[in-house]
Amino acid sequence: MKKKHTMLSEIWRRFKKNKQAVVGLIVLILFVLVAIFAKQIAPYWYDDQDANRAMIAPCMQYPFGTDNLGRDVLSRLIYGSRYSLSIGFLAVGISVLTGGFLGVIAAYYPKLDNIIMRCMDLFMAIPQMLLAMCIVSALGSSLFNLMLAVGLSSTPKFARVVRASVLATREQEFVEAARAIGASNTRIILHHILPNSISALIVQATLAMAGAIISASALSFLGFGIQAPMPEWGAMLSAGRKYIRTQAYLTVIPGLAIMAVVYALNVVGDGLRDCLDPRLKK
């Protein structure tokens, strides 16, 4: 237990040096808190319609203005953070699990390697966004299907990353030692190989979360994702787009929110890469 503690604090010491990454982490934590306490923070309910206050430009009472149905944009953004963050997190969770499983199997059982990786190549031949669009239109648009589509479409990428890093550790002496003392394959994979591949996976997952949030909002923007009246940021952008000539804030503000989260994830991902994998440090 003590050893683990020192390793984590060592990582944190290195991470702290990167000011940008620390700022990104703070932004990220703020967004997570906002998503959790949306009900307490948001001044209005996300679907509070009131024709009397439609299209009010940003002012003291409505810091980000109101939309065509008189809903407070700030409240919608606050509730919307739940969608973007949970989609990002769960979609990547799905691709880590599926991709990780396939990657480990491919690397550990050479007989299956060729079959699995050629299948992954086939899926890689379809651009991720296209694949996600087809999956979501086949399953029908809902929050869960959107996550599934975004997650499954980046499975091949994770399968490759995990396979490469497992291949690198498989031949190490401690794995041989574990095998010599009679550990089962499952135990070797879970206790000896995966912990050694975890840093590559964490970095990839952080950056993939940024990508997943962008893809999901693009899908919602195109009308394949979450539908009105849900306050998903991409869907808000798509609804506000009609009023770009008169109420530009309806398109500017949700975009800024997406950008802030994605930017934070990208800097944190870069920071993690530098501190978890010193070999990659430039």
Partner 1 sequence: MLKYIVKRLLWIIPVLIGVTIIVFTILYFSPGDPAYLALGDNATPEAVEAYRVEMGINGTYWERLGRTLGGLLKGDLGLSYRSRTPVLDELLVRFKVTFDISAWSIVLGIILGIFFGIISALKQNTIWDSLSTGCALFGISMPMFWQGLMLILVFSVWLGWLPPSGYGSSWKQMVMPVIALGVNSSATIMRTTRSSMLEVMRQDYIRTAKAKGQTYWAVVIHHALRNAMIPIITVIGLQLGVLLAGSIVTEVIFSIAGVGKYLVDSLNARDYAAVQGCVLLIAFVSAILNLIVDIIYTFIDPRMKTMYETSKGGSAHSKKKGAQKTA
| Interaction site with partner 1 (CB under 8 A) | 119, 121-123, 125-130, 133-135, 137-138, 140, 157, 160-161, 164, 203-204, 207, 210, 214, 217-218, 221-224, 234, 237, 241, 244-245, 248, 251-252, 255, 258-259, 262-263, 266-267, 270, 273, 282
H or E stretch at 18:
none
Q: How far is the CB of 43 from partner 1 (least distance, A)?
A: 25
The nearer residue to partner 1, 79 or 224, going by C-beta atoms, is 224
Query: Tokens at residue 91, please?
Result: 């979609």
Nearer to partner 1, 66 or 204 (CB): 204
Q: Which is nearer to partner 1, 188 or 275 (CB)?
A: 275
CB-wise, 60 or 138, nearer to partner 1?
A: 138
Nearest approach, Cβ of 62 to partner 1 (angstroms)? 20
**CA-closest candidate to residue 249, choices 237, 259, 260:** 237
Q: Which among 124, 206, 191, 195 is positioned nearest to 159, based on CA atoms?
A: 124
First to last CA, the chain: 32
- For residue 273, the tally of other CB atoms under 10 A from its CB is 20
Q: How far is the CB of 50 from partner 1 (least distance, A)?
A: 27
For the CA atoms of 189, 265, 26, 259, what is the dihedral angle to 10 degrees?
-160
Q: In the bound complex, what is the minimum distance in angstroms from residue 84's beta carbon to partner 1? A: 11
Nearer to partner 1 (CB atom), residue 90 or residue 203: 203
Residue 272: which of 192, 194, 207 has the closest Cα? 207
Min dist. Cβ of residue 93 to partner 1 (A): 19
Cα 136 from Cα 128, distance rounded (Å): 12
The one-letter code for the residue type at 202 is I
Q: Which CB sits closer to partner 1, 94 or 135?
A: 135
- The pair of three-digit structure tokens given for residue 141, joined into one six-digit string: 């648009």
SS3 72: strand
CB of 157 to partner 1, least distance (A): 7
